[in-house]
């Protein structure tokens, strides 16, 4: 049964979670999410990606009933696979926008953190409640969250396990945009659509420079940036962009994505 699917329309690939009622993350969801992320990465017709869980909920976290029966070896393999799947999502070399409705808790929030931009419904609630189960986030919550909102705010959420409403999520930096629930997918597609006609290779390089550079010393990050900049000289879009600028002025280039 398909619980995750990739739908491509107008250059935007929507990765849709569909495991009612709460899109709980189990091994099947993780496996199909991995496949969808790889397809979105490889498909040249996908120029930007939207992560979406549907009108009612993004993802309410891991399947607790399934996890409760796991022994140490099983949970070690499970969290490793989920974390590596989320890393594939985070490494999609295209702009990724999360469209979050309802709950994004635990693994659901960790998945949303893999996106470059997060659009939240005004009724959304997010958080990492794993501490209330006697454990900690295991698929990015203790790592991506502090890098996004800072260690102190991340510790507050991780230590307490409390849920954060959309307004606070926007204030502390989890949400980039908050809109009425009925507009979440439309707004996410609007944001993703800004990049569909852009230079795909340069967008991928920009994403890599920012994401990888954040983990490096400044001198190393600057060398990475310079190498990625120079590498774009081999692309057709670089030639198109510079030629168009000289002949027609800025903002007129029609990029091919190559």
Q: Kindly list the catalytic residues.
A: 110, 130
122: helix, coil or strand? coil
Question: Which of these, 25, 19, 47, 23, lies nearest to 237 by C-alpha position?
Answer: 47
The position carrying tokens 């006697």 is: 134
Distance from C-alpha of 50 to C-alpha of 123, rounded to nearest angstrom: 19
Look-up of token digits 């009933």: 65
Cα separation of 101 and 153, whole Å? 22
Of 137, 138, 136, 172, the C-alpha closest to 152 is 172
Nearest of 137, 142, 148, 157 to residue 214 by alpha carbon? 148
DSSP 140-192: STTTHHHHHH-HHHHHHHHHH---EEHHHHHHHTS-SEEE-GGGHHHHHHHHH
142-178 exposure pattern, b = at least 16 Cβ within 10 A, e = fewer? bebbbeebeeebbeebbeebebbbbeebbebebbbbb
List, in order, residues 6 or more apart from 220 with CB less than 8 Å away: none
Q: Which residue is listed with tokens 């606070």? A: 168
């Amino acid at each position: 049964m398909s619980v995750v699917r990739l739908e491509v329309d107008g250059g935007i690939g929507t990765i849709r979670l569909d495991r009612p009622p709460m899109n709980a993350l189990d091994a099947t969801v993780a496996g199909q999410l991995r496949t969808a992320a790889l397809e979105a990465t490889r498909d040249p017709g996908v120029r930007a990606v939207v992560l979406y869980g549907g009108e009612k909920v993004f993802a309410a976290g891991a399947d607790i009933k399934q996890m409760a029966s796991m022994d140490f070896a099983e949970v070690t393999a499970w969290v490793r696979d989920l974390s590596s799947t989320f890393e594939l999502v985070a490494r999609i070399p295209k702009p990724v926008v999360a469209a979050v409705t309802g709950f994004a808790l635990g693994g659901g929030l960790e998945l949303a953190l893999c996106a470059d931009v997060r659009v939240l419904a005004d009724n959304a609630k997010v958080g990492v409640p794993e501490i209330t189960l006697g454990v900690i986030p295991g698929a990015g919550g203790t790592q991506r969250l502090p890098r996004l909102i800072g260690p102190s705010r991340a510790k507050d959420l991780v230590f307490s396990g409390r849920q954060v409403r959309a307004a606070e999520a926007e204030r502390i930096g989890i949400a980039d945009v908050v809109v009425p629930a009925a507009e979440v997918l439309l707004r996410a597609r609007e944001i993703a659509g800004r990049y569909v006609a852009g230079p795909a290779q340069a967008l991928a390089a920009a994403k890599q420079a920012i994401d990888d550079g954040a983990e490096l010393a400044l001198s190393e990050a600057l060398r990475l940036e310079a190498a990625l900049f120079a590498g774009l000289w081999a692309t057709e879009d670089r030639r198109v962009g510079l030629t168009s600028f000289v002949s027609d002025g800025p903002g007129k280039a029609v990029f091919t994505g190559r």
